[in-house]
Amino acid sequence: MKPVRPRILYFKESLSTPFCICISLFFAMVFQFNGGVFLPTAYQMSSALGCIQEDINMAGYASFIGMTVIFPILFRLKSRFTTRSILLTVCCVLIVCNLITMHTRQIPLLIFICFISGFFRMWGTFECFSNIRLSVTPSGNFSVFYPVIYIIVLESIQLSGLVATHISEWANWHYMHWFVIGLLVIVWFCVFFLTRPYRPGKKIPLYGIDWLSGILWGVMLFAVVYICIYGEYHDWLDSVEIRACIVIALLCLLININRMSTVRRPYISPKVFRYRNFPVILFLFLTMCLLLTTSSVLQSQFMTSILHYDDLNSVSINWCVFIGILSGAAVVFYRQVVLRKGFKLLISVGFILIIIYQYYMYFLIYPTLNIESLYLPNYLKGVGNGILYIALTIYIAKSVPFQHFFQGLCVLSFIRTSIATPLGTAILTRWLRHLSQENIGLLSLRMDQVHSSLSPHSIQALYAQVTEQTILISLKELFGWICIISTVFLCILLSYRLWENHHEKLMKKHTIAIEP
């Protein structure tokens, strides 16, 4: 007998369940569009505010940190407030955050507002998704539900980048915030007129939460992100600010490790790290995010400095990634739900596709490349991204019990939304700068105005050619190193998978042998 699809109880009874699911997904997408600041418009925003681009990047990652630290208390907040009151409050707070973001010139205030924006953004998104889970899949199957979630989450990232770039080109970065405010007003009115106050259980107060540990985790993430973003600007360890942030991050980490074993209900339990394969999944997420930063750093540098594409042409590549993520979600759904197979092949295929992207880009580095040549590698990257994000999260959901599941997601978000991307960006930017300095010295070694073969050309034109060739060679060399490193990683991953399969077969044989 097929399970009955339950109603979404906080909506009014006259509304059909399919309509309620669609409107909830719309709410979630609007919340995901709200990014505090929009990184595709960072250059325009930094020029308008008279600050450096690192300040805008820091504000953007502050939003991600806010999204991260809220995970362990999401269900406590759900038990304390009704869905209607949560969504109405989230809309109002996000509208105020957008208004302040548009009008403030104080960078510390901007960063704090973006943190609050990320906190409420995730709260609203979770509230939308948690209420439709049993309506989407009455059996509660994570393999059905998580592809739906990550289609909304990952595709919203691509769409917000597209919309922000087009709006900023048409007008300026303020209009993207007005657009999001308009969407939030629509959501507020929909919630006000279509929902009712409903509480599924008794009201549970917010007692017994380790708020101090939550604050310390947030401070640690801010310190790490500050190091990654401002490291190049402050010249790394030669700067007092960077050394101070390293000390702060280590102190917060040590204090939290101590509180894990001494506090009765720590913000993140040490048991989370002891579940089978959880550390391995963290490492896989870190590797995936580091590999994906090549597109945001190296591919962007190639498209702007060598191919001289404007922002609209550059962001059009997001459509290929958009379609790729949809394809990746379909692959996970087909293998998990239709074929009822495991995760290991999916994880291997996801990494293979991302590594193929790195090889593809290595051979595409050419000064007269047409934009159509970038469609296929970015599509493959999108497929790999969708497969890995969804498959690894389902793996976590089936490996970690509900008691510690959201704490596990919090730790996972330390990697995938807060640390890995700025860390990968900092590493690639520093590496590219080192290679560029080395290559420009080699290429311009014999270039002067006395050399007879160079005399017809102006020295400025020659240096422009040398600079372009330097970037080309450096990008190709860096992509080559990434291909080598990622191939070694893939060999280790496949070897680990073969060893694990062999170990499981031996264990099964041993179990059969000792049975009476």
CATH code of the domain in which 131 resides:
1.20.1250.20
pLDDT above 60: residue 456:
no
Instruction: Find the mean pLDDT for residues 344-358.
Output: 90
Which of residues 217 and 505 earns the better pLDDT score? 217
Mean pLDDT of the chain: 84
Distances (CA, A) of 83 to 79, 80, 124, 193, 348: 9, 10, 9, 14, 39
pLDDT above 80: residue 342:
no
When divided into structural domains, the chain yields a total of 3
pLDDT band at 254 (very low <50, low <70, confident <90, very high): very high
CA 288 – CA 299 distance, rounded (Å)? 16
Measuring CA to CA, which residue among 445, 328, 312, 452 is closest to residue 389?
A: 328
pLDDT above 60: residue 4:
no
**Residues 436 and 364 reside in one and the same domain:** yes
pLDDT band at 203 (very low <50, low <70, confident <90, very high): confident
pLDDT band at 243 (very low <50, low <70, confident <90, very high): very high
pLDDT above 70: residue 55:
yes
Instruction: Find the mean pLDDT for residues 435-457.
Output: 65
Boundaries of domain holding 259: 210-266
**Residues 247 and 221 reside in one and the same domain:** yes
**Residues 100 and 222 reside in one and the same domain:** no
pLDDT of residue 511: 55
pLDDT above 90: residue 163:
no
pLDDT of residue 238: 86
Of 266, 286, 311, the one marking the end of a domain is 266
Render pLDDT for 135-159 as a digit per residue (tens, 0 to 9): 777 776 777 888 888 888 888 888 8
Any domain includes 452: no
Any domain includes 102: yes
Any domain includes 2: no
The continuous run of DSSP H or E covering 242 comes out as helix 240-262
Render pLDDT for 261-281 as a digit per residue (tens, 0 to 9): 888 888 888 888 888 788 888
DSSP 263: S
pLDDT of residue 115: 92
pLDDT band at 1 (very low <50, low <70, confident <90, very high): very low
Instruction: Encode 302-334 in three state secondary structure.
Output: HHHHHCCCCHHHHHCCHHHHHHHHHHHHHHHHH
CA 437 – CA 442 distance, rounded (Å)? 9
**Residues 390 and 405 reside in one and the same domain:** yes
**Residues 220 and 323 reside in one and the same domain:** no
pLDDT of residue 275: 84
**Which residues, in sequence order, are CB contacts of 227 under 8 Å at separation 6+?**
242, 245, 246, 249, 426
Of 157, 187, 203, the one marking the end of a domain is 203
